[in-house]
Amino acid sequence: MGLLKKFAAGLAVAATFAASMAIGSARAETVRFWYHFDNPANPMSELVAKFEKANPGIKIDAENVPWNSYYDNLYTALIGGNAPDAAMVKLFAQPRLVEMGALEPLGERIDAWPGKADLLDNLLELNKGPDGKQYYLPVQYVVLYLYYRTDLLATAGLKPPTTCEEFRDAAIKLTKAPETYGFGLRGGKGGWDQWGAFVFSQGGALKPGGLTNQHAVAANQWVIDLFRKDKVIPPSAPNDGFQEIIGAFKAGKTAMTIHHIGSSKDLVAALGDKVSAVPVPKCGNGRWTSYGDESLAVFSSSPHKDAAWKWISFLAEGENNVAFNSATGQMTVTKSGAKDWKLHERRFVDATVDSLPFAHVLPQNAATSEFVNTAWQTAMQRALTGQITSQQMMEELNALVAQ
């Protein structure tokens, strides 16, 4: 009898356990999240573990998608109906994503979110969609500035350039081809933001007619001449991407290049005190640098929008955001995180902050995605190699913008 009772009790416990497991698994939601980190020491799993502990009903399936095909994969996944619930996204993709109806408006959720007050000023404004709605939640930012080799400039008796004239002059003096070149230009994929510092500052703009005016064409010619006439840029430039320009700068092949704080750790590890940074030079009467944004978004196709929102807002909060940025090497979007910022050397933070007043994003229209993805680089490469003129390049890009 006693034995039977024990058995019955055991059975009851087992049944309850099984039932609670069933309920648990029925309630557990899985949020699929796409991101891209270049850094192999990736702390995403720690953030996921912390989040899952605080939100027992939600599982995060975070996938690191390689940057070079990130948007190709994202667009195809969205169209193919296999999109993640949430992802890291950049502003240039927003008009296309909005046109596709792929984004979930986040305005109300952000307003009700306690972390909103901790976001740096103006970021939400900068991230607004082309229709005025809020789809993006900022997660990190960078600003492009000019890296230079302190030792090489000192040897040549030069100060970091502040204008385009000084920049060209310094680049010529620093060039001792084929050992050293003055400037590492990124002529391959993703180089438009370096180019923007020289062309958008002098009257160029990504709008119909904005590229074909004489100032813009002349500014573009000036960049081409740096390569073709002054020869202050390594001959590999037309095919150079991020790896190549950073590699050449680290190896001492180039004395200056334009990139953001994300590469400072790597450069300091290789060069120590011999690398520093200043804002990009002032060209003509204007100054323009690229505000490199990164945000998080929830997709309208997601069946787990609330869970996805919980996860992305978690990443944009104080210390989580700092942990996130320690992986990407970029800047936190929170006031509390920025107060005690130790991830980068002061000189790079200063160069970033000093660049903010003239940092811009590209206009949000459908042509921007194609300009950034393929059009700029095919046109620039042909202009650099003398296949087309500056005027032809600008007309070709103008045709894209005017579509």
Partner 1 sequence: MSIVTTTRAAERSGSFWRRAHLTPYWLLAPAVVVTAVIVFLPMLQAVATSFYDLILFRPNASRFVGFGNYIKLLQDPVFWTALWNTVIWIGLTVPLQMGLGLITAILLNREFPWRGLARALIIIPWALPSVVIALMWRWIYDPNTGVLNDLLIYLSVVQGAVPWLADPHLALYAVIATLTWQGFPFFAVMILAGLQGIPKSQYEAASLDGASPWRQFLHITLPGIMPVLATAGLLRVIWVANSMDVIFVMTGGGPGYSTHTLPLYAFIKARQNLDFGYGTAIAVTFTILLGSFVAVYLARTMREVEK
**274: which 2 tokens?**
């011999």
Q: Which stretch binds partner 1 (CB under 8 A): 7-15, 137-145, 195-203, 235-243?
A: 235-243
Kindly state whether residue 55 participates in binding partner 1, applying the rule CB under 8 A: no
CB 198 within 8 A of CB 168: no
CA dist 113 and 110 (Å) reads 5
Footprint of partner 1 on residues 250-269 (CB under 8 A)?
A: 251, 253
Kindly state whether residue 90 participates in binding partner 1, applying the rule CB under 8 A: no
Footprint of partner 1 on residues 313-352 (CB under 8 A)?
A: none
**51: which 2 tokens?**
């989040």
Number of other residues whose CB lies within 10 A of the CB of residue 347:
16
Kindly state whether residue 239 participates in binding partner 1, applying the rule CB under 8 A: yes
**368: which 2 tokens?**
């921007």
Nearer to partner 1, 30 or 387 (CB): 387
# binding residues, partner 1 (CB under 8 A): 36
Kindly state whether residue 374 participates in binding partner 1, applying the rule CB under 8 A: yes
Nearer to partner 1, 228 or 347 (CB): 228
CA dist 184 and 207 (Å) reads 28
Q: Which stretch binds partner 1 (CB under 8 A): 154-162, 185-193, 207-215, 325-333?
A: 185-193
Count of CA atoms in the C-beta half-sphere (13 A) of 282: 7
Contacts with 325 (C-beta within 8 Å, 6 or more apart), sequence order: 140, 331, 332, 337, 343
Kindly state whether residue 378 participates in binding partner 1, applying the rule CB under 8 A: yes
Q: What share of the chain is helix, strand, coil (3-state, %, to 5)?
A: 55, 15, 30
**54: which 2 tokens?**
């605080």
Nearer to partner 1, 239 or 301 (CB): 239
**185: which 2 tokens?**
């230009």
**CB of residue 297 vs partner 1: minimum separation in angstroms?**
15
Site string for partner 1, 215-234 (x = CB under 8 A): -------------------x
CA dist 124 and 134 (Å) reads 8
Nearer to partner 1, 192 or 348 (CB): 192
CA angle at residue 264 from 323 to 278, to 5 degrees? Answer: 125
Chosen residue from 178, 214, 285, 346 binding partner 1 by CB under 8 A: 178
CA dist 108 and 304 (Å) reads 17
Site string for partner 1, 118-157 (x = CB under 8 A): ----------------------------------------
Kindly state whether residue 372 participates in binding partner 1, applying the rule CB under 8 A: no
Kindly state whether residue 190 participates in binding partner 1, applying the rule CB under 8 A: no
Sequence letter at residue 237: A
CA dist 322 and 342 (Å) reads 10
> Which residues of this protein are in contact with partner 1, per CB under 8 A?
72, 75-76, 79, 96, 99-100, 177-178, 187-189, 234-240, 244, 247-248, 251, 253, 370, 373-374, 377-379, 381-382, 384-385, 387-388
